[in-house]
Amino acid sequence: MVHRVLSASLTVLALVGASSPARADGVIERAARTGELVVTGPADMPSILSLDAAGQPQGYAMEFAQRIAAAVATAIGRPVRLKLAPESNPVTVFANLASGKADLVCGVSFSWERDLFVDFSLPIAVSGLKLLAPEGRFDGSAAGLAGRSIGVQKASLGDTFTRGFQPAAAVRPFANLSEAVDALSDGQVDGVIGDSVLLEAQVRDRRLAGMAFTPERPFDTYGVACLVPQNDSAFRDLVNLTIARLLQGYLDGQPEAVAAVDRWIGPGSRLNLSREQIQSWFEASMLGVEAIRPLPAASADSAIPSNP
């Protein structure tokens, strides 16, 4: 089942890519010409990417997007306006990146299927898939899902995983996890499989009692990153440097970096993650790259003396 789902998705994406005009320039060159950086993705994920009361984009994904836009502005020597183009259909998101209609998406879980059509940045978080349901209903096994109605977010890793993990499950796709949890609360589905961090926030927001997550260890663990157009190494390098600076700043305890991250995902936020958990994510993300720290200022004592 999972192979058929992936094959169908790949066929659609390949056709979209084939029909899209080739990008005439890279993101940095395009920003130098237009003065804009277009970020896209679903804007219905509180704490990650959503609209505030004034209709302005906000969230953890926007924190990175704003810093990336500032880095692009520094690179080209002119102001860059960050523009949000909300889009919930993943096929359209990838097609817009490939065609140059959009430049950046942040807060996306890694998959090999997606990596065929776009490039991923360093991870900005780590998460996993779990099953949310009333206590005692499931044991986390594949056998327990057979014949049961399972809510998922359409075209997500939870959707693909569930179909492959238990083909006999009755998968019910929803536009987002909020709608899936609504259906669970109303008894329309037996459980919901999705991103464990976002599902935990849904449970806290709704003060749902008697719910449990299974299994204890996630079905699948993955990195959450930003997407950039494929084969645009100059922009991808700039994105990675920008991400690494914020992650390293958090690990080093820099007040500005800690406040920027904690505001959206840290203690007291809607996601309410501990600093220890965030630090473990960031340490894993930075494991394979050089630490980004400012060089010490040159002093007279350290200067190389000239020949007398």
Instruction: Give tens-digit pLDDT for 239-283.
Output: 999 999 999 999 999 999 999 999 999 999 999 999 999 999 999
Architecture label for domain 127-220: 3-Layer(aba) Sandwich (3.40)
In the numeric block, which tokens belong to residue 132?
């949310």
> Do the domains 127-220 and 13-125+223-285 match in fold?
yes
Architecture label for domain 13-125+223-285: 3-Layer(aba) Sandwich (3.40)
Domain boundaries, the chain: 13-125+223-285, 127-220
Reduced to 3 states (helix: H, G, I; strand: E, B; else coil), residue 90 is helix
**At residue 290, what are phi and psi to the nearest 5 degrees?**
-70, 140
Question: Given pLDDT bands bounded at 50, 70 and 90, which one contains residue 134?
Answer: very high
Helix axes 275-285, 233-251, angle to 10 degrees: 140
In the numeric block, which tokens belong to residue 162?
């569930």
Instruction: Give tens-digit pLDDT for 87-133.
Output: 988 889 988 998 999 999 999 988 888 888 899 999 999 999 999 99
Whole-prediction pTM value?
A: 0.84
Report how far residue 264's alpha carbon sits from residue 95's, in angstroms, rounded to the nearest whole number: 29
Report how far residue 48's alpha carbon sits from residue 57's, in angstroms, rounded to the nearest whole number: 10
Instruction: Give tens-digit pLDDT for 186-196.
Output: 999 999 999 99
Mean pLDDT computed over every residue of the chain? 88
For the stretch 175-202, what's the b/e string if a residue is b when 16 or more beta carbons lie within 10 angstroms of its beta carbon?
A: ebbbbbbbbbeeeebbbbbbbbbbbbbb
Beta strands, E only, 136-202: 149-153, 170-174, 191-195
Beta bridge partners of 224: 109, 125
What is the C-alpha end-to-end distance of the chain, expressed in Å? 78
Instruction: Give tens-digit pLDDT for 41-59.
Output: 999 888 999 999 999 999 9
- pLDDT of res. 295: 59
